[in-house]
A and B are shown apart, each in its own frame.
Chain A
Amino acid sequence: MNELLIIIFAPLIAGVIAWALDIKGVREIIGVIGAAVPLAYLIKLYSEVDAGNTIRYSTNFGGFTFDFALTHLSWIFAMIAGVVGLAAVLGMVSTSRNSYEWLFALMSLSGVYGVFLAYDLMGFFLFWELMTFGSFMMVLKYNRSASLKYFVLSIIGAYAMLLAIGMIYAKVGSFSFIEVYKALSQDAAMGAVGAGTIFSRGEMAAIFGLFLVAFGVKAGTFPLHVWAPDAYSETNQSYTAMFSGVLSKTGVYGFILIYMLLGYRLIVEFGTFRSVPKFGYIIAFLGGLTIVIGGILAALQEDIRKLFAYSSISQIGYILVAIGVGSALSIEAGIYHAISHALFKGLFFLIVATIVYRTGKTEFKDMGGLAEKMPFTFAMAFVAILSLAGIPPMVGFASKWLIFEAVISQNMPILGGMVFFGSAIGFVYLIRFTYAVWFGQRPTDLDDVKDAPLPLAIGMAILALLNVVFGIAPGIVAQELNKVFGSDVIGGTIWELNIGVGKYSGLLITIWLVIGMLVAAIIYFLGARVRRVPVTDTYQSGNPVTMDYNLTIRRNFFLPLKEALSFWLRISFDKLYRDIAKTTEDFADTLRNYVYNGNVQSYAWYLAIVLLILAIWGV
């Protein structure tokens, strides 16, 4: 059997076996093996990919030829799926309730591998649907309405993609990426010299718009993000690490595909806006809105799971901004952030899984002082917080810094502002998570909480370690990304990133940070005076607390923000979609009352009128 097929189908086969055997203990082992096998194969194939070979495989099935290929780009994305998928599956060893979850979690992982390795549009679509179906079933078991919302939006995305693929196939006559790329770049060349093209301007706009909807749904782009907060929070939290870390990356990969397949043609057709392709600017602007809206909504949540769901949406916005800006540096920065987002967001959701698993609570108001009880999880959370907030020795800083540099170097003030705002709001919601969950007074019912179970701890440790390693040596990732582009877009050594306008050395900063911490520790141990501060002193600014405006960090901490934004918060896309559904229902109801009214005589009238029309027509 071919190696690519093993990578794609190993999780699915393991999932089916685990589901069929359904023996507690055995199914977990099979599941972990199923997630580990593709990762092992990907590592094994690295040397070949690194040498510049593309590993290809094609098979004929039911009249269609399915192409698979492992290029450098798809290797990077598949590695994200492999590492975060393995960590999430390890987490599921602790948190899964039954074999049903193993089947569908591993099925969606198979779908993700298929999406990344597929080299033709048909296979891409099929695996895309497999992934959607698996994740839909995972949500369905926990919350029906959340899963339905996810399903409806996914269906809209899937049909949009299918239509776009159909339009391309109708003109090109092939699904293969290579054929499509050849046809479209030829078309672009024809368009550039003003000759006739096979795709008209309107068709290109339609294909782009349809792909935008299809990939936007999966990535959680504004205004199609409404499914994500519910779906991310209403499922097995270990699985959410995969959901948010890996599945959303297929949307990102899709946007990169737009560049790879349609990019030249779209630039020729629609031109550029300040050296940024116009179609990319649309992606970037949607990404910017996603950052701002996801960030603000994350700050207003009272539920940990919801907070990280919105934060995940917000972080995906960064990737879209970077990809949309469309220079080589910014696309590389976008992929870099996709990697770091998978690492820290996967870690975050595993931490949330641990908290929910150990305490059974999800809201800030029930938490507090867990750092003493769960030191290991707290250490992991500390890494994740630093990484998401973009504090230097973590991978989150390297990728965000690259995005800032990429956006600024293209002279994009609005996008730059949105990205900076997103970072600021990132601190706003993270400080709440940091303080409300880990510090402060502990509710008495959390006194006998234990630390993370071993499999979850291993899963978290893998991701945290990578967060730190890629942070201290950011060049490891950057050099892999350079190989994708075939040129040194980001220079420097493995310790240092150099993009011409600026340098960032992860190692140097780490050394200085360690020295700084040592100095602080020496001062502390030499006898700094310790004074215990009452918890209430830290957040009330000296004002007396009244009961009706009690803004502790655990409850309504950002209520003033909420009140200031109340007008904007009323405009919710979630509500808009519900209103559309309601209007449709009302319209159907009206139709039922006046047309389908149960009166035999009115049906006789309809019949008579139709007959009359036919008679006049002369049938």
Chain B
Amino acid sequence: MISVYYFGSISLILIGLYAVLVKRNVLKMLIGISIMETGVNLLLISIGYVSGKSAPILSEGIGPSQAVDPIPQALVLTAIVIGVATTAMALSVAVILYEKYGTLNVEEIRRLRG
């Protein structure tokens, strides 16, 4: 039985992939990429979840044995930052594309470029 977390996050990845593969508009493709990113992050987090344990912050009453796996959380923290950076960069490219070609349709841009 697949846990609902896995199912949900993989669905998000597939939805994002669908947008990237099928949509013609650059912005929609970028939205797809963002959705994929979210899905990947959620998947990573859910891998680290140990049922019934609390956040891995050492405080009173919570020792190392009562915490969930902290490594995926550190990983996801990095991945979020990278995701934001790439999204920002891709958006600026999209702005330049629109300025240069007057459209955001990838097919048309490809044709214009020759």
Contacts and interface: CB of A to CB of B under 8 A. Distances in A.
Interface of A: 598-601, 604-605, 608
Contacts of B110: 598-599
Nearest to B17: A608
A456 to B, nearest CB: 58
A599 B109 CA distance: 10
13 contacts: A598-B110, A599-B106, A599-B110, A600-B106, A601-B20, A601-B21, A601-B22, A601-B106, A604-B17, A604-B20, A604-B21, A608-B17, A608-B21
Contacts of B20: 601, 604
Contacts of B21: 601, 604-605, 608
Nearest to B18: A608
The 9 closest A-B pairs by CB, nearest first: A604-B20, A604-B21, A605-B21, A608-B17, A599-B110, A601-B21, A608-B21, A598-B110, A601-B106
A598 B106 CA distance: 11
Contacts of A598: 110
Given A600-B106, A601-B20, A601-B22, 11 more contacts: A598-B110, A599-B106, A599-B110, A601-B21, A601-B106, A604-B17, A604-B20, A604-B21, A605-B21, A608-B17, A608-B21
Contacts of B17: 604, 608
Interface string B81-113: 000000000000000000000000010001000
Contacts of A601: 20-22, 29, 106
Interface of B: 17, 20-22, 29, 106, 110
Nearest to B14: A608
A446 B21 CA distance: 75
A229 B101 CA distance: 55
Nearest to A599: B110
A598 B110 CA distance: 8
B96 to A, nearest CB: 16
A387 to B, nearest CB: 63
Contacts of A600: 106
Contacts of B29: 601
A578 to B, nearest CB: 30
B19 to A, nearest CB: 10
Nearest to B23: A601
A604 B17 CA distance: 9
Contacts of A605: 21
A604 to B, nearest CB: 5
Contacts of A604: 17, 20-21
A98 to B, nearest CB: 46
A600 B17 CA distance: 13
Nearest to B32: A604
A42 B20 CA distance: 76
A28 B110 CA distance: 62
Nearest to B33: A604
A598 B113 CA distance: 10
Nearest to A602: B21
A459 B106 CA distance: 72
B80 to A, nearest CB: 22
B10 to A, nearest CB: 11
A601 B106 CA distance: 9
Contacts of B106: 599-601
A600 B33 CA distance: 13
Contacts of A608: 17, 21
A364 B17 CA distance: 72
Contacts of A599: 106, 110
A134 to B, nearest CB: 46
A605 B110 CA distance: 17
Nearest to A597: B110
A294 B13 CA distance: 68
A459 B62 CA distance: 101
A607 to B, nearest CB: 9
Contacts of B22: 601
A608 B110 CA distance: 21
A599 B24 CA distance: 11
A274 B39 CA distance: 79
B77 to A, nearest CB: 25
A311 to B, nearest CB: 52
A601 B29 CA distance: 9
